[in-house]
Amino acid sequence: MINYRQPDLTEHPPRSLRVRLGGYAHLCRLLDKARAVIANKGGEYHYNCPLDGAFFGFTGIDHAAMLAEIKTGKTDVEMLAWVSTQTKQPPHQIAAWSAWLELHGPGDADGHEWAASVIKGHKSARDDIRGYADLLDLDDYMSFGGAA
């Protein structure tokens, strides 16, 4: 059974970027990674990666302040309440940003080459991977024993 209060990301992946909390895409994944890193069970996942940085940039929240708050043991709902005190983004902006994040992709040629290398590294013939959310879901699935 997966314990999301203290996730072990050497045993299972974090939640998908698509899972929303308070309308925010990626927040659940970010919380899973932070909790795992705090417990020294982050595996190959990193807190404050560039995708986390997109969340911090949008909300204006400092990554160190958020990590300190997560260390207090707050639940997802309690962390959402804390996030709400730290940012003034209205619900329609949160929804728009989350929709954008779910569709956001590599952009330039170097980004596309990197994404292609991840897909090829898993020996996958998938041709429907368009954005980072798709790529992360595929990588998480394949990294923990899924077949292409």
Pair 120, 62 in one domain: no
* Amino acid at site 60: G
Q: Which residue's structure tokens are 């998938």?
A: 126
Rounded CA-CA distance 86/66 in Å is 10
In a domain, 99, yes or no: no
In a domain, 98, yes or no: no
With a CB cutoff of 8 Å and minimum separation 6, the contacts of 6 are: 35, 36, 39, 41
pLDDT at 91: 96
Domain boundary among 88, 115, 135: 88
Rounded CA-CA distance 132/145 in Å is 20
CA distances from 52 to 32, 62, 121, 130, 139 (A): 12, 11, 24, 19, 17
- Number of domains making up the chain: 2
Pair 127, 59 in one domain: no
Output Rg (C-alpha) for the chain, integer angstroms.
15
Band of the pLDDT at 123, cuts 50, 70, 90? confident
**Both tokens assigned to 144:** 């923990």
Pair 10, 70 in one domain: yes
pLDDT at 130: 85
Pair 111, 137 in one domain: yes
The per-residue pLDDT for range 63-121, each reduced to its tens digit, is 999 999 999 999 999 999 999 999 999 999 999 999 999 998 888 888 888 888 888 88
Rounded CA-CA distance 135/132 in Å is 5
SS3 (DSSP) at 47: coil
Could you tell me if 33 and 140 are in contact, meaning their C-beta atoms sit under 8 angstroms apart? Answer: no
The per-residue pLDDT for range 4-60, each reduced to its tens digit, is 788 999 999 999 999 999 999 999 999 999 999 999 999 999 999 999 999 999 999
pLDDT at 108: 83
138: domain range?
105-148
Rounded CA-CA distance 67/71 in Å is 6
Question: Any idea what DSSP says for residue 87?
Answer: -
Pair 66, 41 in one domain: yes
Pair 81, 29 in one domain: yes
